[in-house]
Structure 1
Amino acid sequence: MKMRSLPTLLVLPAAAALVLSGCATGASGSTDSTDGGAISVVTSTNVYGDIATTVGGDLVDVTSIISDPSQDPHSYEADARTQLAVSKADVVVENGGGYDSFVDTMVDASGTDATVINAVDVSGLDPEAGHDDHADEATDAASDDATADADADADEHDDHDHAAFNEHVFYSLPSMAKLATALADEFGRVDTANADTFTANAEAFGTKIADLEAQAASIKTAHDGDPVAYTEPVPGYLFDAMGLVNVTPEAFSEAIEEGDDVSPAVLNDTLKLFTDGKVDLLAYNEQTSSPETEQVEKAATDAGVAIVPVTELLPEGEDYVAWQQSNIDAISAALGE
């Protein structure tokens, strides 16, 4: 079974991109930093685009490949404009961990010598290790009657990349602070005259992230061990920081994320979390839905369980810090803070 990831893109050969260069420009009108212009940055999503802009300010020209929250990532195809932006980039930012492997494909096809910054690598999180909300004891503690079918199905997938690692590192607050520092270092290498500005911007971003972390820690003080559920592990790292324990059958969330069918037994186990009053909230990925997730959402609604919508892209008009503040506020409200 293949990990569900962001879209496989239609990548133009490098030669084709070069032919188009006479009649097309980068998606953000990027310029060559070696000629004294802004540093050209291409990011896989607007989450990383916003952080790059926060660190670089007017000294960077950022193109985010996927930026519209209403876009369906699974049907997205790159065009000549995007491929050309990659070919001209000084810096490329990807999530990594199998989430946006199309970026590597585009970089290879473009022949660019851009520096590629991988957020998973920068985070220091181990792709070979699991994260707390997938621990077997968490499921046992919150759902004593979690069925053997669900457990067997989860065991069957233990050797899959997704089961071993939550690639949604953009919900890991300390990881994004590290990313900002890595961006400042790279921008300062490309534009040495403004290195201090990049460093100061990254530090200011880090201060805001520290405030968000403090809020998450406060929630943990009051709700450590509280059982929660999600349709996909998008907010997993934020839940970990809050001490919240995901009890969703792994076979369910994995199938939803990978676009696979959910077995009736696993779906039944998931629905019982709500009908039996075993969870305090449901995090629902607004960007993807299926008949199974709609049934789960209805079960939560019928049971009076708070539903917290989450996304993988920045909502329109919000920056990274405001986005995560909204997530923290929504979770806090759902928990009755």
Structure 2
Amino acid sequence: MRNKKLRFIWLPIILVFVLIGIIFYHTWQNQETNVNTNKDKITVVTSLDSYGEMAKAVLGNQGSVTSIINKPNMDPHEYEPTTSVAKQYQKADVIISNGGGFDNWSVNFAKQNKDAKTINIANLYHYKDGESGGNEHFWYKTDITTRLTNQLVKQYSQLLPKKASYFKKNAQAYQDKAKKLVDLQNQVKVQLAGKKLLATEPVFDNTLLALGANMQDQKFARAIEEGDDPTPSDVREWQDLINQGKIAVVIDNPQASGKLAKQGVDYAKAHHVPVVKARETKPANTTYIEWQMQQLNALNEALQK
């Protein structure tokens, strides 16, 4: 009888503990659901606004994109990130860096965020830092609009699998917009056939070389890019090529501040050689596609003179 009485006493107590456990379990489940709901948006950070435009085009309404270098007067080579920028990278779900030695600060921040999906554009092109004749201005690659958006679809879809078709549709829409840029590239390619060009910096070279341009006196351009003065022999070669009438167009980076670069441009103008400007950073209030088309249209027009 005593055992039966004990069982009757403990039974309600056990039931109370079971009920408390059920309540705690459901509460925990609700909290987990809320957390997951709050994370159903993707946070993207990218070093350059050209990549940021593509990232936002594919992401659509499924998150936010922050571009660190987002003003035309910001010098990417001299940029020094702040503590707030470091925090933005730490909170990011997806990080896009140019790589190739161009934005080492971005690449390093990406390495510190072990949970983020990272895209290093240099790796997309199998580029190795410091390789001979390399050019890290990957936003001037003629297929960047396709290569990067396709990669973004893969990364976003891993984070939000249910939105994979949405991301793919957005990427295709952006690539469709870029078709007019591709068409213009093909037109310029025809005009560039057999033409020799000079450049104050190799900023635009990834586009020009892909379209068949024959770039001359590249030692001059690389010296300017590295912040050095071209040698006297480089300057003489520049002038001799112009004097001989071998140069169809000179490409000038208006953001280059070197005295010899300016003198080279002035020499070309004095000898009636067309000069086309190609910037390193995207102009304000201009989309990436518009920017590239403006420069290519200017080059196309100059080649027909």
TM over 0.5, yes or no? yes
Q: After the TM superposition, which residues 42-53 of structure 1 pair with which residues of structure 2 at under 5 Å, given as runs?
A: 42-53=45-56
Task: Please state how far the C-alpha of 1:92 moved relative to its aligned partner.
Answer: 0.5
Q: CA deviation at 1:66?
A: 0.9
Deviation at 1:189, TM superposition (A): 1.4
Secondary structure, aligned partner of 2:281? coil
Residue 149 of structure 1 is matched in structure 2 by none
Q: What is the SS of the residue equivalent to 2:107?
A: helix
The 8 Å contact of residues 191 and 300 in structure 2, kept in 1 or not, is answered as: no
Residue 334 of structure 1 pairs with residue 286 of structure 2 = no
Letter in 1 for 2:69: I
In 2, Cα distance between the equivalents of 1:34 and 1:81?
Answer: 26
Q: CA deviation at 1:119?
A: 1.3
Distance (whole Å) between structure 2 residues aligned to residue 261 and residue 300 of structure 1: 18
Give the secondary-structure state (helix, strand or coil) at the position aligned to 1:163.
Answer: coil
2:3 aligns to what? Answer: none
1:87 aligns with 2:56: no
Q: How many residues align?
A: 271
Q: CA deviation at 1:182?
A: 0.3
Matching residue of 2:285: 317
Q: CA deviation at 1:256?
A: 1.1
| Larger CA Rg, structure 1 vs 2 | 2
Structure 1 residues 89 and 43, CA, compared in 2 at 3 Å: closer, same or farther? same
The Cα offsets for residues 86-120 of structure 1, whole Å up to 9 and x where unpaired, read as 01000100112222222122234x44421110112
Structure 2 gap ranges (5+): 1-34
Aligned to 2:132, the other structure's residue is in SS state helix
Q: Name the structure 2 match of 1:215.
A: 184
Give the equivalent residue in structure 2 for 1:302.
Answer: 270
Give the whole-Å Cα distance in 2 for the aligned partners of 1:107 and 1:46. 17
Shift, 1:260, TM fit: 1.9
* SS of residue matched to 1:255: helix
Distance change >3 Å, CA 306–CA 88, structure 1 → 2: same
Pick from 107, 114, 117 the counterpart of residue 115 of structure 1: 117
Q: Of the candidates 78, 87, 102, which is equivalent to residue 99 of structure 1?
A: 102
Contact 2:199 2:221 survives alignment (8 Å): yes
Q: Tell me, which stretches of 5 or more residues in structure 1 are unaligned?
A: 1-31, 129-159
- Whether the aligned pair in 2 keeps the contact of 1:45 and 1:66 (CA below 8 Å) is yes
Cα shift readout 1:230-252 (whole Å, capped 9, x = no counterpart): 111111122123322111x2221
Structure holding more helix per residue: 2
SS in 2 for 1:75: coil
Judged with a 3 Å threshold, the aligned counterparts in structure 2 of structure 1 residues 114 and 33 are, in CA distance, closer, same or farther, namely farther
Percent identity between the two aligned chains: 31
Q: Distance in 1 between matches of 2:36 and 2:300?
A: 44
Larger relative contact order, structure 1 or 2 (CA cutoff 8 Å, min sep 6): 1
- Residues 171 and 235 of structure 1 are in contact (CA less than 8 Å); yes or no, is this contact kept in structure 2? yes
Cα pair 1:217 1:241 within 8 Å, conserved: no
227, 233, 242: which is aligned to 2:202?
233
Pair 1:127 & 2:127 matched: yes
The offset of 1:79, in angstroms, is: 1.0
